[in-house]
C-alpha cells in the first residue's frame, strides 16, 4: 500500500501497486455510501473545481457527489457558461481558479495532455476526467474495481473490449490498468476502429466478434463516438449493430458467467441490445455506484501530504 502522488493524470504511469491501493481504498469508501450518514469529513475545508471543457453529465456528477461526500466544497465550471467562449486560455482559466484557492482541479478537455499541462502551471492537484482520446483514468479504475469485486480477482481473466477503440480514452486507460494487473485483454471492432497497432500495448486484436467474446470473463462495450469521428469509419450504424452489437444470440455463445460492462451512456439497440443492458449479467449500474467510491478514494489519496504515511494507533 503506497500513494505519494499529487495528481492523477493517467494510468500509464501508475504501478500495479498504486492501482491496487486505489481499489482497496475505494472498497472502504463504497461502504460509506451504504450507511445512513453517507458523509465523512476527510476533505473538510478543501475546494474542488470541476473544469469540464467538454460536455459530460455522469462523470461530472460522480465527481461532484464524491467531493460532497468527503465534505469538500465544489464548484462547477462548464464550457458553455465559461470564458473560453470569450477567448481565455486554459492556463489563464486555471490560474484564475487557483486565485480562488482551489485545492483540486478536475479537468475534462478535448485535447490530449491538457491535464498534464495544467499540472505544470498550477499548484492544485489535477485529476484527469478524460483528455481527448488519450486517457480516462477514473473510468479504468472503477472498471477494475467492478471486475475485482464481482470476479474476486483480475489477474488471469479474459477481458474483451468491444467497439470504438481508436477514439476511446476509456479503452486506452482500461488496457493500461488491466494489463498491469495481469488480465488478458482482447480488442474487437471494425478494423478501421481497432487497428493492429494496439497489439503493441500487449493486447490481442481481432475483428471477429464471436472469436473475441467466446472465452471472455468480462465483455466491456464501448459506445460509437460520433462526436470524435471526423469521417465515416464504417458504412452504417445498422451494419455495425449486425456485425458487432451484443445481442442475445451472441451472449448465449459466451461463458455462462461472462459479465457485461459499459461506461455509458449506452446506445440501446446499437452496441447493446436493450434486454442485455437490463439483464442480471449487466454491471452497468454497479459501475456507476462504484465510480462514486473510486472517485472518493482518488480525492482522499491525492489529499495526502508529503510526510510519512499516517498510521492508525499513533
Partner 1 sequence: MPEATIILNAAAIQRALTRIAHEIAERNESGAEVVLAGIPLVGDQLAFRLGKILSEIWKLPVPVGVLDVSMHRDDLAHRAAPQVHQTVMPFDVTGRTVVLVDDVFFTGRTTRAAMDALNDFGRPKNIQLAVLIDRGHRELPVRADFVGKNVPTALTEKVRVRLDIPGQPDEVVLEK
What does the binding site for partner 1 look like in residue numbers (CB under 8 A)? 1-4, 24-25, 27-29, 31-32, 35-37, 39-43, 46, 297, 300-314
Best CA proximity match to 48, nearest among 69, 73, 77: 73
Residue number, 181 or 301, with CB nearest to partner 1: 301
Cα R_g (the chain), whole angstroms:
19
Residue number, 40 or 288, with CB nearest to partner 1: 40
Sole residue written with cell 459466451: 254
Q: Tell the smallest beta-carbon distance from residue 228 to partner 1 (Å).
A: 35
Cell numbers linked to 291 = 465510480
Quote the distance between the C-alpha of residue 153 and its chain's center. 19
Residue number, 132 or 304, with CB nearest to partner 1: 304
Q: Tell the smallest beta-carbon distance from residue 120 to partner 1 (Å).
A: 22
Q: Tell the smallest beta-carbon distance from residue 31 to partner 1 (Å).
A: 6
Q: Tell the smallest beta-carbon distance from residue 306 to partner 1 (Å).
A: 7
Taking phi first (over 0 means left), then psi (-120 to 50 degrees means alpha), and beta for anything else, what does residue 274 get?
A: alpha
Q: Tell the smallest beta-carbon distance from residue 8 to partner 1 (Å).
A: 12
E strand segments, 163-211: 184-188, 204-206
Residue number, 163 or 291, with CB nearest to partner 1: 291
Best CA proximity match to 133, nearest among 20, 236, 225, 19: 225
Residue number, 232 or 309, with CB nearest to partner 1: 309
Q: Tell the smallest beta-carbon distance from residue 312 to partner 1 (Å).
A: 6
Cβ-contact 54, 110 below 8 angstroms:
yes
Residue number, 2 or 274, with CB nearest to partner 1: 2
Work out whether the CA dihedral 183, 180, 304, 308 comes out positive or negative: positive
Amino acid at each position: 500500500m503506497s500513494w505519494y502522488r499529487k495528481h492523477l493524470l493517467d494510468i500509464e504511469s501508475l504501478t500495479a501497486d498504486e492501482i491496487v491501493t486505489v481499489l482497496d481504498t475505494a472498497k472502504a469508501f463504497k461502504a460509506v455510501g451504504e450507511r445512513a450518514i453517507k458523509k465523512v469529513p476527510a476533505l473538510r475545508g478543501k475546494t474542488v473545481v470541476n473544469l469540464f471543457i467538454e460536455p459530460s453529465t455522469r462523470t461530472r456528477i460522480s465527481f461532484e457527489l464524491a467531493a460532497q461526500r468527503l465534505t469538500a466544497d465544489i464548484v462547477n465550471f462548464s464550457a458553455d457558461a465559461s470564458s473560453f467562449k470569450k477567448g481565455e486560455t486554459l492556463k489563464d482559466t486555471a490560474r484564475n481558479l487557483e486565485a480562488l484557492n482551489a485545492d483540486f482541479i478536475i479537468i475534462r478537455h478535448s485535447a490530449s495532455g491538457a491535464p498534464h499541462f495544467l499540472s505544470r502551471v498550477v499548484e492544485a492537484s489535477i485529476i484527469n476526467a478524460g483528455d481527448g482520446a488519450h486517457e480516462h483514468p477514473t473510468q479504468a479504475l472503477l472498471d477494475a474495481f467492478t471486475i475485482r469485486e464481482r470476479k474476486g480477482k483480475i489477474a488471469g481473466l479474459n477481458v474483451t473490449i468491444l467497439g470504438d477503440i481508436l477514439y476511446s480514452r476509456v479503452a486506452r486507460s482500461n488496457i493500461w490498468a488491466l494489463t498491469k494487473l495481469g488480465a488478458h485483454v482482447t480488442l474487437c471492432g471494425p478494423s478501421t476502429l481497432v487497428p493492429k497497432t494496439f497489439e503493441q500495448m500487449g493486447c490481442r486484436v481481432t475483428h471477429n466478434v464471436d472469436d473475441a467474446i467466446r472465452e471472455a470473463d468480462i465483455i466491456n462495450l464501448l459506445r460509437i463516438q460520433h462526436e470524435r469521428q471526423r469521417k465515416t469509419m464504417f458504412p452504417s450504424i445498422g451494419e455495425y449493430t449486425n456485425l458487432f452489437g451484443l445481442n442475445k444470440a451472441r451472449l448465449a455463445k459466451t461463458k455462462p458467467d461472462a459479465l457485461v460492462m459499459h461506461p455509458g451512456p449506452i446506445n440501446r439497440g446499437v452496441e447493446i441490445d436493450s434486454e442485455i443492458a437490463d439483464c442480471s449479467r449487466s454491471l452497468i449500474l454497479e459501475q456507476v455506484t462504484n465510480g462514486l467510491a473510486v472517485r472518493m478514494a482518488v480525492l482522499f489519496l491525492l489529499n495526502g501530504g508529503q510526510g510519512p504515511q499516517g498510521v492508525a494507533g499513533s
